[in-house]
Every structure is written in C-alpha cells, then in structure tokens.
Amino acid sequence: LDLPEGATPLDFAYAIHTEVGHRCRGARVDGRIVPLTYRLSSGERVEILTAREPRPSRDWMDPRSGYLRTARARAKVRRWFKEQDHDMHVEEGRQILERELRQLNLDAGALDLDALARHFNLKEGEDLLAALGAADITPGQLASALRVPTEAERMPVTPRRTEPADSKAGEITIRGVGNLLTRLAECCRPVPGDPIIGYITVGKGITIHRQDCPNVLALPEERRGRLVEVAWGEAPSRFRVGLHIEAFDREGLLRDVTQVLSNAHVNVLGARTHTEPRDQSVHMDLEVEVADTEQLSRVLDRISQIPNVLEARRRG
C-alpha cells in the first residue's frame, strides 16, 4: 500500500476503505499500541482497531492536529460530517416546521413544501428543512412565509371575482368586495397574513374565512359558487386571536404566561383556566391581540419555553 511520507495509521485505515477509517479507534504497529498521530515507516506491520459504529472526530480534519497526512482522507472525513449534519438539520428542521404549523393551527397536509422552499430561493423541500435546522432560516421568517398560500393551499374551486374595491370588516380592510358588508368568521378567526377567501351569506354580506377553514373545505358542491376571491388590505395595529395552552400546574404559571405576553406587547383580553386535579394538568384559553402571524408565532414559541408548558398553539 503506497502512502506519502509522514502518513499515520489513520491514513492507512482510510486507504484500506472509507468505513474502516470512519470506525478507526486505535492502531497497533508491529504488535504495540500507538497513537493515531504516529508516523509510519516503510516495512512496519499495521493493525487497525475499529468500533462497531462510525464515529470520526472533527479534529481529524485539522492538518495541524497530525491525525491525517493525506488530503483525500481528510476529504472523506469532511464528507461524512456534511452528510451527518445534513440529516440532523433536516430532522431538526422538520420538527421546527411541524411546531410552527401546529402553533399556527395550519393544515400540514395542505402544505406544498417544495413551493415553500422556492419562496426562499431553495430547490426543494429538503433544502428548506436543512436550512431551518441549521438556523439559516428562522422560525419568524418561516411564519411570515406561511402567510403566502402555496398551490396546495388554494381552494379547488373557481371563486367568482368581485370588483377591485375596498371595504371595511370592523377595522380590517378587505380588498375585492366592492361595497358589500363583510365580517370575519367566528369559526376560524382569520388574522391578517392568513390566506383567506370570502363566502357570500344571504342577507349578511360576505363572511371572511381562512382558506383552510374546515367549514369552507366541507362546503357542498352546490354552495361553492358563493365563494369569492378576497385579500387583506390595510391591517390594524392589533387583531384578536385565541390561544390554547396545556401544561402541568404549578404556582406562578399564569403569571409567567402573562409576563411573556406583556414583554411581547401583546394585550390580553380574557383568560379562562381549568385544572384537572387527577393529573394536575391545566388548560388555558386566552384571548389576545396581535399584529400578525409573525408576532403570534414568536409569542407561541416563548410560551412553549416556559417550564411545565407542554403545548401552546392558536385556537380555532
């Protein structure tokens, strides 16, 4: 086996086979244990000691450490860490995405991950997950991107178009409803930034729903002709939304939750708590005012980090 001058037992292991190098834990030279930085000489008999699982060290990639003399062996180590980090980041990114969808009460089955990846100028969904796991894309950026309806989120109908005029729903401006009366649906409580659709209600104008609202998705075919395209116009500084929190009860829990909301400048309109004595679990339902889905996501993340909190998500 030809190796350059100054090669080590670890160079020798990688020259035999990549997996032997990855699993190398020690070496014997002429029957005696030597460090992996030992410099081999011509004619020596080398025995590689391996572990069951591959576990290279990042130190092996540093030429100054003396573990590897050959650039080819260092490249194999670098490639292994890149693959391992990628898989780890993808899994962590998947968990972040699932948490955001759960917290924002969005339908994971309706999400086109590849389309969402293209929003960040990435090729495919796996690249997006890896970027999330590596913190190249923050949960806040993800929450903002989830405002944009992907192809899978669009309704499988052709809604009627209305004249492009503005109309107020409370303090919210809805574009595309002319001078018709509008109101926000109580069933799904859309927040500015949510993909929305309008439904013409006889005698009550247009009701604004989230596009993934179960009531809209369950509409019978004969009533889908009442759906109309709408869009958010100018949003108010604050908007009402419900939160649901599950936790193990402890003294000061509600105080800690309200402190997080106060620090985030989120106004609490109402709170209802129920404690189950049998297992000391507590369920909190809060009514709060937020500016948009990005602020909502940040608040839910911070509440989730409070000790004893099991889950915090948007209600409805």
pLDDT tens-digit series, residues 264-275: 888 888 888 888
**pLDDT grade for 203, boundaries at 50, 70 and 90:** low
DSSP H helical ranges for 109-187: 113-119, 125-133, 139-145
Report the pLDDT value the prediction gives residue 153, as an integer from 0 to 100.
38
Look up the CATH number of domain 239-315.
Answer: 3.30.70.260
Give per-residue pLDDT as tens, 24-35.
Answer: 999 999 999 999
**pLDDT grade for 167, boundaries at 50, 70 and 90:** very low
Per DSSP, 160 falls in state B
Does this chain's domain 9-69 share its CATH topology with 239-315? no
pTM of the model as a whole? 0.44
Is it the case that residue 12 has pLDDT exceeding 90? yes
Is it the case that residue 168 has pLDDT exceeding 50? no
Rg (CA), the chain: 29
**pLDDT grade for 307, boundaries at 50, 70 and 90:** confident
Give per-residue pLDDT as tens, 50-94.
Answer: 998 898 987 898 887 889 999 999 999 988 887 878 888 899 889
User: What is the average pLDDT across 242-262?
Assistant: 88
Going through 211-280 in order, the beta strands assigned E by DSSP cover 227-228, 231-232, 239-248, 267-276
CATH of region 9-69, choose from 3.40.640.10, 3.50.50.60, 3.40.190.10, 3.10.20.30: 3.10.20.30
CB 170 within 8 A of CB 235: no
Residue ranges per structural domain of the chain: 9-69, 79-152, 155-232, 239-315
Report the pLDDT value the prediction gives residue 132, as an integer from 0 to 100.
87
Report the pLDDT value the prediction gives residue 68, as an integer from 0 to 100.
94
Distance of CA 268 to the CA centre of its chain: 26
Report the pLDDT value the prediction gives residue 149, as an integer from 0 to 100.
39
Q: What are the φ/ψ torsions at residue 205 (nearest 5 degrees)?
A: 75, -140
Is it the case that residue 174 has pLDDT exceeding 90? no
Report the pLDDT value the prediction gives residue 237, as an integer from 0 to 100.
58
